[in-house]
Chain A
Amino acid sequence: MQLAVNIVVLTAIYALISCGYVLVYRVSRVLNLAHGELMMLGAYGLLATASLFGGHPGLALAAAGGFALAVGVAVYWGLMLRMTGESVLAAVLCTIALGILLRGVVTLAWGAQQEYPLAELGWTNPSIHVGADARISAASLALVVLTALVYAGLFAFLRHTRWGIRMRAAGQNPLLAAQRGIRLHGVYALAWGLATFTGGLAGMLIALDSGLQATMVTIGLKAFPAALVGGLDSLVGALVGSLIVGAAEVLLIQYVDPLLSDVAPFFILLAMLVARPWGLFGTREEIDRV
């Protein structure tokens, strides 16, 4: 039973991070390998707002969320906008470089020691009993619930609102979208903002649960295979991929070798790339985009 709980929690973590990869890729065909670092920046943002808005944790959370959104939009306007029109590889390398830059900046600004935003917010993180013999921490439960809400929200947004339809249109055929009056820069900025917001949310919740340190970035990197296995332009795929990778990781830690946990996602990734590069639910695209 505890295993099942662990799987659910890990799946939720990966899912919440993956939807950021999917949003950016689906709309602008760029693989944002700085997502892990942006997620970490969001978590550190919470640390900052928590100490800023001392007695008002709700306000701190809202401010941190707004900060994450703003950072995403800023990254697009300041950097990725200049890379539109360049080759996709150049854009990806740009995101890698951005990730490195952020890692350095975050360490410079906040230091390399472990932080505890939970304490800053003045909250506690009790264990909740699930069933007879399983436990889940409150922060993890919040994460699972929020992931479900985020996905529901994203599905609703993309299927049923005007701008969601326009985002999907811009992702499929940017030239035609521009011709039909859709401001591509606005759509891309929105996608980046949403992606960084969800990533920051994931970072914040993980930090609330288990502390905050720069090494959080590796979680972001491990979520990437989950996104790709499901299909880089499919939200449903991100959910399924996260489940596969999360379950594999938990089971491997339990039954085989704890050291494998860090590399298992990449074995799955490699297997999927060889068998079906566009993932389980992705659109079968021309895969030479350099």
Chain B
Amino acid sequence: MSAALRETESAARQPSPLLELDQVEVTYHRIAIAVQGVSLQVLDRQIVALLGSNGAGKTTILRAISGFLGVDDARVSEGTIRFDGEAIANRAPHWVTGRGIVLVPERDKVFENLSVEENLDAVVGRRAAAGASMRQAVYEYFPALARLREREAGYLSGGERQMLAIGSALMCAPRLLLVDELSLGLAPIVVEQLAERLCAIRRDLGMSILLVEQNAPVALGIADYAYIVENGRIVLDGDRGRLSGHQDVQDFYLGAGGAGRRSYRDVKQYRRSRRWYG
């Protein structure tokens, strides 16, 4: 773990993080290493973002946490994943959901042949009694859904689908919400609204959120802390202020570089700063 992290978080740190990945390595088909040496933390009530471009390994990390690696003949071959101190690597998905980690997937995120209401009802939550009240809460967070109760999910627009996906995830009463590509295919204003809703959800329901995003400005807008993933490794991490101000992040992820575009080949400074962070 990097010194920078220790520095900034020492003041508000709880004794142990909610989710902790330690030197995790994920291997596909026993030969292809997708991510290596990944260590990250999500604290209680924290929004953490995983940034990076396509194919960096962000979704693999989410799949490793939520137990979906087996589907693609992959497994966590090294390292540990601890949730609340308990090891959860290579477990079945419904077990992980039962522990309170729920994933909002990137694709196929709703049941297309069921109505909105049925989508919410289909969920088997951790606390069965919370069903009706949670459903009410979902409709309050997403009033658009309340108007579309009987609509078949296959006919919803992209933004409505994402709302329904998040809503059905909430029905599981999660303690950690994993969101894969919140903004994919959505109009900027819709993304803004969703991001604001996520902050409200974190505040009211007291859950942590691990957000995987290609859209760095949006992610850094709501995240307390962020990790940047490249080629299966974490190359940078820090809180919002530090990352937003970092030259390389500004150039490569925020598109806010100085005069003239820097070529990705011209990475001397990048490599130097990567050494700082180890």
> Chain A residues in contact with chain B, CB under 8 A?
162, 165-166, 168-169, 172-173, 175-184, 283
Q: Are A172 and B118 in contact (CB under 8 A)?
A: no
B34-42, B102-110, B142-150, B204-212: which lies at the interface: B102-110
CA distance A183 to B124 in the complex (A): 9
CA distance A172 to B112 in the complex (A): 7
Q: Are A175 and B71 in contact (CB under 8 A)?
A: yes
Q: Which residues of A contact B109 (CB under 8 A)?
A: 176
A278 smallest CB distance to B (angstroms): 14
Q: Is B13 an interface residue (CB 8 A)?
A: no
Q: Is B1 an interface residue (CB 8 A)?
A: no
CA distance A162 to B168 in the complex (A): 15
Per CB-CB distance, the 10 closest pairs between chain A and chain B, nearest first, are A181-B124, A169-B122, A178-B93, A169-B111, A180-B123, A181-B97, A172-B113, A165-B122, A165-B118, A166-B122
Pick the contact of A283: B68, B113, B114, B124 (CB < 8 A). B113
Q: Which of B114-151 contact A (CB under 8 A)?
A: 114, 118-119, 121-126
Q: Which residues of A contact B90 (CB under 8 A)?
A: none
Q: List 7 A-B contacts (CB under 8 A).
A: A165-B114, A168-B113, A172-B111, A172-B113, A180-B122, A181-B94, A283-B113
Q: Which residues of B contact A181 (CB under 8 A)?
A: 94, 97-98, 123-126, 172
Q: Which residues of A contact B172 (CB under 8 A)?
A: 180-181
CA distance A168 to B121 in the complex (A): 12
Q: Is B214 an interface residue (CB 8 A)?
A: no
> Chain B residues in contact with chain A, CB under 8 A?
66, 68, 71, 92-94, 97-98, 102-103, 105, 108-114, 118-119, 121-126, 168-169, 171-172
CA distance A131 to B192 in the complex (A): 70
Q: Which residues of B contact A182 (CB under 8 A)?
A: 94, 122-124
- Given the contacts A165-B121, A181-B97, A173 and B66 also touching, CB distance less than 8 Å: no
Which of B97, B98, B105, B118 has most chain A Cβ within 10 Å?
B118
Pick the contact of B108: A176, A183, A283 (CB < 8 A). A176
A228 smallest CB distance to B (angstroms): 19
Q: Are B97 and A180 in contact (CB under 8 A)?
A: yes
CA distance A169 to B108 in the complex (A): 12
- What is the chain A residue whose CB lies nearest that of B104? A179
Q: Are B108 and A175 in contact (CB under 8 A)?
A: yes
CA distance A177 to B112 in the complex (A): 12
- What is the chain A residue whose CB lies nearest that of B113? A172
Q: Which residues of A contact B121 (CB under 8 A)?
A: 162, 165
B153 smallest CB distance to A (angstroms): 10
CA distance A165 to B117 in the complex (A): 10
- Given the contacts A175-B71, A179-B66, A166 and B124 also touching, CB distance less than 8 Å: yes
Q: Which residues of A contact B169 (CB under 8 A)?
A: 180
A40 smallest CB distance to B (angstroms): 33
CA distance A177 to B111 in the complex (A): 8
Q: Which residues of A contact B97 (CB under 8 A)?
A: 179-181
Q: Which residues of B contact A180 (CB under 8 A)?
A: 97, 102, 122-124, 168-169, 171-172
CA distance A204 to B97 in the complex (A): 42
Q: Which residues of B contact A166 (CB under 8 A)?
A: 122, 124
- Contacts A172-B112, A175-B105 known; list 14 others, CB within 8 Å: A165-B121, A166-B124, A168-B111, A168-B118, A172-B113, A173-B108, A175-B71, A177-B111, A177-B122, A178-B92, A178-B94, A180-B123, A181-B94, A183-B124
Q: Which residues of A contact B168 (CB under 8 A)?
A: 180
Pick the contact of A179: B105, B113, B118, B126 (CB < 8 A). B105
- What is the chain A residue whose CB lies nearest that of B73? A85
